[in-house]
Every structure is written in structure tokens, then in C-alpha cells.
């Protein structure tokens, strides 16, 4: 992981607003604390959201940053085939039964960022006890990925539901979902129907692939996993254990992403047992930079694409380029700007030394949120916000603005 400098607070008023928003979204349950992604719309706990919340809290509330991560690992599966998995949703007070057949959790995961978040929190506010509490849980998560989600043993994990990517309704999932130009309602209905299929097949990746169900080795997810393994290695070293094992695993994932997924010019996800490349441009390949998966010349090519007009919009980065036939700036996930995605791309730019581009992305994200409100996602052309107006992860603009190169 790239270490960022600790610098004086640059945006004290915005920080106050972020702290106020996150505080208002906090929930206490059964001795734990977490932050809802948004009141009313998203009341439960979501995995990658909580990681992002912790990353923001590290600027002003390290205790809550730690609690957020300790609560997200609390619903780690402890028995059965999926022991080790951290569910993408935790229902602290129950009622997940109808959809998932489980009262308190979902049966799928989300991008693994817990080690990344924990390491960022620790770098700003060192706390070895906190790292020690998380460490065995994080080891189990990555062992679960290897055991359950890499049936072909190529170091790329397979997603079994679009929800696992965090990009719920992106056009890149249309084909593997068996959809062609779906309406938002059709796409949502298909995601719900897929859960029944997962339950019928016991979430077994290989069986699902064989049945022609959604089974995708996603570029961004695997790049995020590489970064998480690197952070796990850093955590192991800090605890006096040997990080070499995790560093080697991270290296294997980085190589696999580089060779298999970045081998096409634009980068593509692989689908199904024969690893068919999924075509259609998206912002996902830029996340390869976050995971350190690109060679310098690949990084340069990715940055050239990123800064071309169809991605470098007034408010970058739309998840679908603005000149693509699937681009829809106001439809959920089909061409909007998402703070979560921007943060990952921003960190990748920093990692590869693209300071000017990183600074621009941080500035535009900050302006977008300051001018339009703490929304869930935004219009890349006008900046208009969509979804809830008190979405916790919009505060990622603070993390980007505070850590941006001067």
C-alpha cells in the first residue's frame, strides 16, 4: 500500500459536515456500532460501505473507524461451506430470512477492502490491538476466497452475483445475466431471481458456472483483492508475523489480473468456465491501478483512456464512457459517477504517480458533493445528485481532498 503523508486538516468546515452526517447515520446494536449507508433507504450494514466509512472516520474519529470495521467482521460466517466469508449485508436485528434464508446476513460478499481500510486507519492512529483483533478474521476471508471462489485455480476469484461487485446494475452484467437492453425493473427482478438460484445451488461457484448462471472473474474485484492482500501482509508484519505469504498471494493475483484481464486493450472481465472476455467499455479497468496490477506502460495506456473526454467528463468518472450506447447518466449504475469508484481510481492514480490527475479527480469530486449534496451517485455532466441525499460514502470526497497531493 502507498503510505500517505499526514497533513494538517485542509477542509475543516466540510469535515464538520461529514462528521455530522456520519454521526447521524450511526446505529448501535448488540454492543456494536456501525454506520448505515443512508437512513431509510439503506438501514442495514453493507461490507464495502463500512470500509469506506472507516477510511473517512480516520480523519476525525478513530474510535468509530475501528468500531466500524470490528462490527463488519462480526457477521463473518463461522460454519458450513462458506465459513470465512464476510457477508455483503448484515441485518443486525434480523429479517434477511425471506430473501437469503438467513436471519442476520446475506449469502454473498462484496469487494474485500477491510485490510486496506484497517491499515489506513492504523497508519494515522496506530493501534496494534485493533489490528490483532482483525487479523485472524482477514486471514480467514482470503482463505475462503481461495477455497470457494477460485475453482480453476488461476488466482482470480469468481463472482456469483452482480451485487458482489458493488456495481449492481452496470451494463457489463447484462450479458452474463442473460439480459439485453433491460429496463431498470427487469434488471432488478433478475438480480432477485438469481438469489433463488444461488440458494438452490448452495452458492457453489463451480456448480453455478456449470448451470450457466452468473459466474464472472471481475477485473476490479480481483484488483481490490490484490490490494487487500498487500495490506494484510503489512498488518502481519506490523504484528510481528511474517507477511511474505500474503505478499506472495498478492503478487499472484496481480500477475493474473495483468496477464488475463488486462491483456485486451480495454481490459475485460472473464465470464464462465471458458473465461470468455466480457466486452463493453467501463471504468472497471482503471481499478487495476488500485491493486498495482498494471505494468507502467499499461498504466500509462489506462490513464490516457481515463483522461479522454468520454471518461474525463465535467465530473469524472462515469462508470460507462459517455459515448457508449449503454451510457445513461441518470440510470442507476449505467453511466453515473460513484464516490466509491472514484476513490478507488484516485488511490490508483496516486499509487502510479499520476499526481496531477489524482488532484483533479479529488477536486472535482469535492466540488460535486459540496455543490449538489451528499448523494449516493451523480450525473457526470451536470453534477446532479441521485439516490439518498444523506449517503455516507459521499464523505469519501473528504478523504480524497485531504490526502490529495499539494
Q: Are 115 and 86 in contact (CB under 8 A)?
A: no
Q: Which is nearer to ligand GLC, 24 or 126 (CB)?
A: 24
Q: Which is nearer to ligand GLC, 187 or 313 (CB)?
A: 187
Q: Which is nearer to ligand GLC, 305 or 320 (CB)?
A: 320
Q: Which is nearer to ligand GLC, 125 or 188 (CB)?
A: 188
> Which residue, among 345, 230, 361, has the nearest Cα to 289 in the 3D structure?
345
Instruction: Write down the least CB distance from residue 46 to ligand GLC, Å.
Output: 4
Instruction: Write down the least CB distance from residue 168 to ligand GLC, Å.
Output: 4
Q: Which is nearer to ligand GLC, 36 or 142 (CB)?
A: 36
Instruction: Write down the least CB distance from residue 195 to ligand GLC, Å.
Output: 14
Q: Which is nearer to ligand GLC, 254 or 391 (CB)?
A: 391
Instruction: Write down the least CB distance from residue 42 to ligand GLC, Å.
Output: 5
157: cell is: 476469484
Q: Are 320 and 334 in contact (CB under 8 A)?
A: yes
Distance, first Cα to last Cα, the chain = 20
238: cell is: 506490523
Instruction: Write down the least CB distance from residue 129 to ligand GLC, Å.
Output: 29
Instruction: Write down the least CB distance from residue 49 to ligand GLC, Å.
Output: 5
Positions that interact with ligand GLC (CB under 6 A): 37, 42, 46, 48-49, 166, 168
Residue 224: φ, ψ to 5°: -65, -40
Residue that has been written with the C-alpha cell 499526514 in this structure: 6
Q: Which is nearer to ligand GLC, 48 or 130 (CB)?
A: 48
CB count, 10 Å around CB of 2?
A: 14
46: cell is: 453493507
Instruction: Write down the least CB distance from residue 36 to ligand GLC, Å.
Output: 9
Instruction: Write down the least CB distance from residue 57 to ligand GLC, Å.
Output: 16
Q: Which is nearer to ligand GLC, 46 or 92 (CB)?
A: 46
Q: What is the chain's Cα-based Rg?
A: 19
> Which residue, among 315, 313, 377, has the nearest Cα to 167 in the 3D structure?
377
Instruction: Write down the least CB distance from residue 41 to ligand GLC, Å.
Output: 8
CA dihedral (191, 195, 201, 205) positive or negative: positive
Instruction: Write down the least CB distance from residue 368 to ligand GLC, Å.
Output: 17
Q: Which is nearer to ligand GLC, 166 or 335 (CB)?
A: 166
Q: Which is nearer to ligand GLC, 254 or 372 (CB)?
A: 372
Instruction: Write down the least CB distance from residue 391 to ligand GLC, Å.
Output: 7
Q: Which is nearer to ligand GLC, 37 or 383 (CB)?
A: 37
Q: Which residue has its beta carbon closest to ligand GLC?
A: 37
CA dihedral (95, 96, 97, 103) positive or negative: negative
Q: Are 282 and 133 in contact (CB under 8 A)?
A: no
Amino acid at each position: 500500500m502507498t503510505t500517505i503523508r499526514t497533513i494538517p486538516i485542509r477542509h475543516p468546515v466540510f469535515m464538520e459536515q461529514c462528521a455530522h452526517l456520519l454521526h447521524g447515520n450511526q446505529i448501535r446494536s448488540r454492543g456494536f456500532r456501525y454506520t448505515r449507508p443512508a437512513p431509510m433507504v439503506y438501514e442495514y450494514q453493507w461490507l464495502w460501505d463500512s470500509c469506506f466509512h472507516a477510511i473517512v472516520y480516520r480523519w476525525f474519529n478513530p474510535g468509530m473507524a475501528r468500531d466500524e470495521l470490528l462490527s463488519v467482521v462480526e457477521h463473518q460466517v463461522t460454519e458450513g461451506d462458506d465459513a470465512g466469508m464476510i457477508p455483503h449485508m448484515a441485518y443486525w436485528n434480523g429479517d434477511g430470512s425471506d430473501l437469503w434464508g438467513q436471519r442476520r446476513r446475506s449469502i454473498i460478499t462484496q469487494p474485500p477492502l477491510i485490510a486496506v481500510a484497517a491499515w489506513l486507519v492504523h497508519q494515522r492512529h496506530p493501534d496494534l490491538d485493533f489490528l490483532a483483533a482483525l487479523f485472524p478474521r482477514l486471514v480467514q476471508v482470503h482463505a475462503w476466497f481461495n477455497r470457494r471462489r477460485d475453482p480453476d485455480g488461476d488466482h482470480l476469484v469468481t463472482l456469483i452475483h452482480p451485487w458482489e461487485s458493488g456495481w449492481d446494475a452496470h451494463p457489463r452484467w447484462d450479458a452474463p445475466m442473460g439480459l439485453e437492453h433491460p429496463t431498470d425493473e427487469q434488471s432488478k427482478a433478475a438480480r432477485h431471481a438469481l438469489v433463488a438460484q444461488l440458494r438452490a445451488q448452495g452458492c457453489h461457484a463451480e456448480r453455478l458456472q456449470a448451470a450457466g448462471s452468473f459466474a464472472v472473474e471481475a477485473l476490479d474485484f480481483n484488483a481490490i483483492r490484490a490490494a487487500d492482500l498487500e495490506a494484510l501482509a503489512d498488518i502481519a508484519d506490523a504484528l510481528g508475523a511474517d507477511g511474505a505469504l500474503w505478499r506472495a498471494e498478492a503478487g499472484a493475483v496481480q500477475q493474473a489480473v495483468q496477464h488475463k484481464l488486462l491483456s485486451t486493450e480495454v481490459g475485460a472481465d472473464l465470464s464462465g468456465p471458458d473465461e470468455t472476455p466480457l466486452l463493453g467499455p467501463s471504468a472497471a479497468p482503471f481499478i487495476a491501478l488500485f491493486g498495482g496490477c498494471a505494468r507502467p506502460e499499461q498504466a500509462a495506456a489506462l490513464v490516457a483512456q481515463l483522461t479522454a473526454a468520454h471518461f474525463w467528463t465535467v465530473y469524472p468518472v462515469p462508470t460507462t464512457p459517455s459515448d457508449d450506447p449503454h451510457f445513461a447518466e441518470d440510470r442507476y449504475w449505467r453511466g453515473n459517477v460513484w464516490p466509491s469508484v472514484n476513490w478507488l481510481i484516485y488511490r490508483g492514480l496516486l499509487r502510479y504517480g499520476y499526481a496531477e490527475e489524482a488532484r483533479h479527480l479529488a477536486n472535482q469530486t469535492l466540488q460535486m458533493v459540496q455543490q449538489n449534496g451528499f448523494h449516493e451517485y451523480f450525473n457526470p455532466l451536470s453534477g446532479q445528485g441521485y439516490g439518498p441525499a444523506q449517503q455516507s460514502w459521499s464523505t469519501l470526497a473528504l478523504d480524497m481532498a485531504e490526502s490529495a497531493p499539494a
